[in-house]
Amino acid sequence: MSRPRVVLATRNAHKITELSRILDRAGTGVELIGLPPVDELAEVVETGRTFTANALLKARAAVAALGVPAVADDSGLCVDALNGMPGVFSARWAGRHGDDSANLDLLLAQLVDVPDEERDAHFACAAALVTPAGVEIVTHGRLDGTLARAPRGSAGFGYDPVLRPAGEARTCAELSPEEKDAISHRGAAFRRLAPAIAALVGT
């Protein structure tokens, strides 16, 4: 018997790998599939003012286009010294969506004069499940830490090379995938969402 299918509503290859790993380990009993190419299904414009709103926008669009349940997330870095920014603008902080290097460079330049004791920040994530029947469930995760003064590590993506989780000397990009999943904002949000996925669409 084939497993029920759930769309991961993202084209970010790093995120697909990470979310697939998290949900597989959570034992949801579903087959995860990716989005079709952009020429078949347009990119969703993230117009929401919150992580929750953007996660729901992406999941709803995938359900409308493909007719199967979808999960999506919106996540970002919230810096205390920048009044919670870049927040929902994290992926396009430097102007072009998904330019990790430019985003990191701009962020560190903005914080160059901020002392170490005032460099608190956290990753936030909203994870959404939407079904064709109209069920919508959103869960959240958060990872608190401090910001390093230069990127370190190559195992992560986005702002992983500059966030040191609370109690850690290493950045998120210096952690193993297993270590990162155990404490990450996405790991927390999707582990909370996994029971709902299993109950609503699993075997």
Q: Which residues is 6 bridged to in the sheet?
A: 32
Q: In which order are the strands placed within the sheet that holds 5-8?
A: 31-33, 5-8, 70-79, 120-130, 136-147, 163-165
Per-residue tokens: 26: 């959570």
Q: Comparing C-alpha atoms, which of 93, 162, 152 is closest to residue 122? A: 162
Other CB atoms within 10 Å distance of the CB of residue 160? 24
Cα distance between residue 100 and residue 139, in whole Å: 25
The residues, any chain, with a CB within 8 Å of residue 132's CB and separated by 6 or more, are 63, 67, 68, 69
Per-residue tokens: 52: 């929750």
Which one of 24, 39, 73, 74 is the catalytic residue? 74
Active site residue 144: no
Catalytic residues: 74
